[in-house]
Amino acid sequence: MTRRSDTAITPDASASASASASASARPLLDVRDVRKTYHLPRGQTLKAVDGISLSVMPGEVLGLVGESGCGKSTLGRCLLRLTDVSSGEILFEGQDITALKERALRPLRQQMQMVFQDSYASLNPRRRIGDLLAEPLRVHPDPDGRKRSRATITARLHELMDLVSLPVSALERYAHEFSGGQRQRINIARALALSPRLVVADEPVSALDVSVQAQIVNLFADLQARLGLTYVFIAHDLAVVRQISTSVAVMYLGAVVELGETDAVLHSPAHPYSAALTAAVPRPVVGAARAAPLGGDIPSPVARPAGCRFHTRCPFVQDRCRVEEPALHVIEPGHSVACHFPLAEG
Amino acid sequence: MMIALLRRLGQTVFVLFGISALVFLVFFATPGADPTARIAGRNASPQTMEKVRQEYGFDRPLPVQYATMMKKLFITQDLASYVDRGELVVPEIARAAPVTVSLVCGAAVIWVVLSIAMGTLAAALKGTWTDRSLMMLGLVGISMPVFWLGQVANLITQSRYHDTWLFSWVPGLGYVPLTENPWGWFKALVIPWIVLAVMFIGIYSRVLRADLVALSGEDFMRTARAKGLSPTRILLRHGLRTSMITFVSLFGLDFAQLVGGGALLTEVVFGLPGVGRLTYQALTNLDLPLIMATVMYSAVFVVLANAVVDVLYLFLDPRVRDAR
Amino acid sequence: MPAETIPMLPAPLLEVRDLCVSFPSRGRMIPIVEHVSFTLGERDILGLVGESGSGKSVTAMALMGLIDSPGVQITGSALFRGQELVGLAQKQLLRLRGSEIAMIFQDPMTAFTPVYTIGWQIDEQIRAHERLSRKQARARTVELLADMGVPDPARTADRYPHQLSGGLRQRAMIAMALSCNPSLLIADEPTTALDVTVQAQILDLIRSLRSTYGSSVLLITHDMGVVAETCDTTLVLYSGRVAETGPTDALFAHPGHPYTAALLASIPPLDGPRPHRLPAIAGAPPAPLERPAGCAFAPRCSYAHETCRDAPPPLVPLVPAGQAGQAGQAGQNTGAQSAANIQQQSAQFAACVLPAEGTLLLPRLLEADTAMSSPGGIILGLSDQGIQPMLSSAGEPPL
């Protein structure tokens, strides 16, 4: 199968984002036609992820945006093999991890970590933060295959606290003693403990207050620059995604409808859905011009419309859209869209 | 809907098959124990042994034995108990069942009505002394063992105060069939009903109160208050109605296990010849055919009651209706 | 806005003065809401904004008389059409609730009783307040649902809450709230649980209510974008106290309280150039128990004076250019009462020492600046340390 080059972010797009991107420009993560189907009672099927192909270059931050039920969280879990995919391939540094057994996957797990939305639920309330953070260091051997010594672990814990701007004394405390923002710092520290290359963050700031949210977004950005990390950043808040991402994939009902550099997608969206999504976000500016909101509701993912999945709500729908599903295709270098009639520039 | 019902029926049959096979294996196919001797009874003559072996097919493979047993139980209904001099088992259960059903149904009416009243009242007056004393009363009810309470009731109504005006109407221990004498039936059962219901009143009223109190923190209860509804209406139409979902599932299981023989102690204390007492006798005599039959009877009731609860769910909770 | 154009309006719809709500905890009274005052005119939309724990929902619940935890203390005054709501007898509250004052909630999924149809629940509210037959009530329900843009209203009325999408449920919720034609609608985070495209629809609907139903709306939200798009007047709460209040356009153009300014600055922009870093506010809002004696924002504020730490600064008006001297005097009068007297001159107030000093914050610099040219202009007396230190994005303070 020849991979559709159009679905990949071109190397030059991400090279600017990271100086550490290698010249060979092999994607860190390559997703090829991944599907995740759930079988429901009554013989219904839910295509949570419906044929997604994209790739993430080292040092890149890919933002996954979309409304509830678009499959962005499911995709995020599939990427790390926290959920098995139904079909398709996921390549991490060129290695197909889709069918790897848990044992073979374990060394790779160190390379890819996840940060979740609920900062409290992801931390065991009965254990000290230091214990929680030390656990992955105790379980996984160091890069040379040796068990880490106690001193190494302690040193690493101090390093981690410094990375996320928490005092070392935090290691002696329990999760409930921290505010939401501090807990999310701890979760980030935990994800970074094994020096991963890829971090998938699923709505990491959406439970936080605005003033705290900005701190955490900055922290993500700082860490990325400092450690040369690669993120897949899942969020429903477009403004947050814009702030942190180098490229953006807009999802609707299980599929990517538009993919490209952040500014291209959010400022000159080619897909009517991306355009409506950006327009619908209320700006903190009085008298800002507003487009008429998109009508109707998101269809149930169980009963996905035929043809273009967006045609039931699209203001520019044509006959062709109702029968033929548009494929994701390149409209300009590094910018692809799944629409028969992409919007013109501007 | 039709498909859902058929599937449900299929499940029921499957569960009954599973239970019967398990009971059969435990009692008839235990290695080292010869069921023939058990069924024939102590000191049975070789002729009887041979007859039993023939009749139950104990010389043939296990599946055939199982099939024979089921045929005798459900189709020909001529399963007989040799311990009890050849008494047919199925009619014996058919005689005992109405007694148990009468006992349990009456008690159920009392405990449902009283526990709903007590639980709702306590929830409405949460934190007051009425609430506290009602819940204390419930706890007392739970703590009193039913056989002790039964004996005390007997002591008071049958002997100590039987001759006073208060209890002179109480008939002697035993059962009066409803078809023969409805008033006598009622008089014979009213005290067993109350005794059996006491513990359940305690449990159910406490569960209901806890459920109602938990519900009062729900968003929809806040909405109901914001609508300007009266507190009574909010508690009954929104709170209690929603609580019934939990209540019914609890009730279904308790009711079924009581009808299936769980009211044993009450039956024994009040001399009621019900299924519980029958099971008890069967077990003490190791009367295998009777054990087999009573266990199957009990299983049928529990499974049926579960099916009924599921159907009630469909009525009570629209979310369940759509989920299937 | 009525309050500005007709200053001598007989009485505003809702006038809240010095509202305080405290909850008992371990033998102490914990103040959750302290001295909140605001006025809501007829057909006005007032936005109550704040972060979690700022007391915005508690304020609304107190107005509705929905707080019934034992030992709670509610003081101050809330006049609704001249009728005092604080301490009102339960019986009279029942009559007001749902008919004169209605409320909609954040999560439309859990806000409906799951075992009854949408129509049944709306009928119930109508029949609780008006003598109508089942049939008449249902007819009105269907009409209301149609008004709220619910497709196929008669059939939707017969559906259960879980069978509807989030957007439809919220429309049904609004229909129910409006069923008895309330003059005040309190909307507590009505779009927070909804997707952004559906949120836009619901906000449009709420905005249209004042013309179609003549309702005033008290909109509670944490989203500054929602406020900017929807509200005439804005009240910013911080840690249970009013930080700033004023007409939405003025407040967003020239925030007078450092908290408002910093909060607005910390929202990542969707338009214009991307900042390299977000100007975050260091630290986190204080818990009610740890609320400082002085200005609650002082520990996170780069403008904090020594005086800020002693007592909460009073609300003082921000004054248009040329009247800066008066602003200082008004500040000395202190108190919300005196502030209310000067309402005709200025409608924007901040609980901060800066306006009284004549120091005003920079107006917001925005890409979409065309909308921001507000009349009057405001003095920019900003010291040389400028806005930069305040917007520095330091981490949270040591534990």
CATH class of A1-111+198-281+290-305+331-346: alpha beta
Are residues C249 and A287, on separate chains, in Cβ contact within 8 Å?
yes
User: Which residues of chain A from 23 to 52 reach within 8 Å of chain B, CB to CB?
Assistant: 41-42
Are residues B226 and C97, on separate chains, in Cβ contact within 8 Å?
yes
Rounded to 5 degrees, what are φ and ψ at B199?
-65, -40
Report pLDDT digits (tens) over A266-305.
999 999 999 999 999 999 988 777 778 888 888 888 888 9
Confidence (pLDDT) at C76: 94
CB < 8 Å to B323, chain A: 41
Pair A18, A60: CB distance under 8 Å:
yes
Q: Does A181 touch chain C (CB under 8 A)?
A: yes
Are residues A215 and C204, on separate chains, in Cβ contact within 8 Å?
no
Distance CA A49, CA C53 (A): 37
Is the pLDDT confidence value at B90 over 90?
no
Confidence (pLDDT) at C371: 36
Are residues C66 and B238, on separate chains, in Cβ contact within 8 Å?
no
Distance CA C192, CA C170 (A): 11
Q: Does C176 touch chain B (CB under 8 A)?
A: yes
Nearest Cα of chain A lies from the Cα of B239 at a distance, in angstroms, of: 30
Distance CA B73, CA C88 (A): 71
Nearest Cα of chain B lies from the Cα of A66 at a distance, in angstroms, of: 27
Q: Is residue C379 part of a domain?
A: no
Q: Is residue C57 part of a domain?
A: no
Q: Does A276 touch chain C (CB under 8 A)?
A: yes
Report pLDDT digits (tens) over B253-265.
899 889 888 888 9
Is the pLDDT confidence value at A14 over 50?
no
Q: Is residue C223 part of a domain?
A: no
Are residues A293 and C372, on separate chains, in Cβ contact within 8 Å?
no
Are residues C96 and B318, on separate chains, in Cβ contact within 8 Å?
no
User: Which residues of chain C from 71 to 110 reach within 8 Å of chain A, CB to CB?
Assistant: none
Place of tokens 């919007």: A343
Judge residue C164's burial from the number of C-beta atoms within 10 Å of its C-beta, 0-12 exposed, 13-18 middle, 19 or more buried: buried
Beta strand residue intervals within chain C, DSSP E: 14-25, 28-40, 45-49, 73-80, 83-84, 101-104, 184-188, 216-221, 233-238, 241-247, 315-317, 349-351
> DSSP code of A8?
B
E strand or H helix at B80: strand B80-81
Rounded to an integer, the average pLDDT of A254-274 is: 94
Of all residues in chain A, the one with the smallest CA distance to B4 is A42
Is the pLDDT confidence value at A176 over 70?
yes
Plot region of B297 (φ>0 → left; ψ -120 to 50 → alpha; else → beta)? alpha
Pair C37, C242: CB distance under 8 Å:
yes
Q: Is residue C386 part of a domain?
A: no
Domain boundaries, chain A: 1-111+198-281+290-305+331-346, 120-195
Helix, strand, coil percentages in chain A from 3-state DSSP, rounded to 5: 35, 20, 45
Distance CA A181, CA A119 (A): 8
How would you list the strands of the sheet with C184-188, edge to edge?
A: C101-104, C184-188, C216-221, C45-49, C233-238, C241-247, C349-351, C315-317
Nearest Cα of chain A lies from the Cα of C15 at a distance, in angstroms, of: 25
ipTM rounded to 2 decimals: 0.83
Q: Which domain holds residue C272?
A: 265-372
> DSSP code of B56?
H
Of all residues in chain C, the one with the smallest CA distance to A183 is C396
Helix, strand, coil percentages in chain C from 3-state DSSP, rounded to 5: 35, 20, 45
User: Which residues of chain C from 197 to 256 reach within 8 Å of chain A, CB to CB?
Assistant: 197-201, 203-204, 222-230, 248-249, 252-253
Pair A217, C276: CB distance under 8 Å:
no
User: Which residues of chain C from 316 to 375 reach within 8 Å of chain A, CB to CB?
Assistant: 366, 368, 371-372
Please name which of B146, B153, B148, B257 lies closest in space to residue B196, comparing C-alpha atoms.
Answer: B146
DSSP states of B87-123? EEHHHHHHHHHHHHHHHHHHHHHHHHHHHHHHHHHHH
Domain boundaries, chain B: 2-76, 98-275
Q: Which of A22-36, A212-226, C123-137 has the lowest mean pLDDT?
A: A22-36
User: Which residues of chain C from 253 to 312 reach within 8 Å of chain B, CB to CB?
Assistant: none
Q: Is residue C286 part of a domain?
A: yes
Are residues C98 and B319, on separate chains, in Cβ contact within 8 Å?
no
E strand or H helix at C171: helix C166-178
Are residues B127 and C112, on separate chains, in Cβ contact within 8 Å?
no
Higher-pLDDT residue of B77, B251: B251
Highest mean pLDDT: which range of B33-42, B284-293, C117-126: C117-126
Q: Which amino acid is at A227?
A: L
Q: Which of A80-89, A142-151, C85-94 has the lowest mean pLDDT?
A: A142-151
CATH class of B98-275: mainly alpha
Are residues C282 and A215, on separate chains, in Cβ contact within 8 Å?
yes
Ranges of H-type helices in chain B: 2-28, 35-40, 46-56, 62-70, 89-124, 129-143, 146-154, 182-215, 219-226, 231-233, 241-257, 264-269, 275-285, 288-316, 318-323
Distance CA A75, CA B19 (A): 44
Residue A174, number of CB atoms within 10 A of its CB: 15
E strand or H helix at C337: helix C335-341
Q: Is residue C392 part of a domain?
A: no
Q: Is residue C347 part of a domain?
A: yes
Which of B228, B241, B317 is opposite residue C94, by nearest beta carbon? B228
Of all residues in chain B, the one with the smallest CA distance to C67 is B222
Are residues A282 and C366, on separate chains, in Cβ contact within 8 Å?
no
CB < 8 Å to A41, chain B: 323-324
Report pLDDT digits (tens) over A234-245.
999 999 999 999
Nearest Cα of chain C lies from the Cα of A218 at a distance, in angstroms, of: 6
Confidence (pLDDT) at A293: 82
Rounded to an integer, the average pLDDT of B173-177 is: 87
Confidence (pLDDT) at C381: 33
Report pLDDT digits (tens) over A105-138.
888 888 999 998 887 888 888 999 999 999 999 9
Ranges of H-type helices in A49-198: 72-79, 102-109, 129-139, 150-163, 180-192
Beta strand residue intervals within chain A, DSSP E: 29-39, 45-56, 61-65, 87-92, 95-96, 112-115, 198-202, 230-235, 247-252, 255-261, 329-332, 335-337
Nearest Cα of chain B lies from the Cα of C272 at a distance, in angstroms, of: 40
Report pLDDT digits (tens) over B141-158.
999 999 999 999 988 888
Nearest Cα of chain C lies from the Cα of A301 at a distance, in angstroms, of: 12
CB < 8 Å to A42, chain B: 324
In this complex, which chains have at least 3 CB pairs below 8 Å with chain A?
A: B, C
Mean pLDDT of each 10-residue bin along chain C, 399 residues long: 47 91 90 93 93 91 89 93 91 92 89 94 95 94 92 93 90 93 93 88 90 92 93 94 94 92 91 88 87 90 87 83 44 43 64 82 59 35 34 37
DSSP states of C186-251? EEESTTTTS-HHHHHHHHHHHHHHHHHT--EEEEEES-HHHHHHH-SEEEEEETTEEEEEEEHHHH
Q: Does B243 touch chain C (CB under 8 A)?
A: no
Of all residues in chain B, the one with the smallest CA distance to C111 is B220
Alpha carbon C232 to chain centroid, angstroms: 11
Highest mean pLDDT: which range of B175-179, B206-210, B292-296, C313-317: B206-210
**Beta strands C349-351; C315-317: pairing state:** antiparallel
E strand or H helix at C5: helix C2-5
Distance CA A23, CA C115 (A): 62
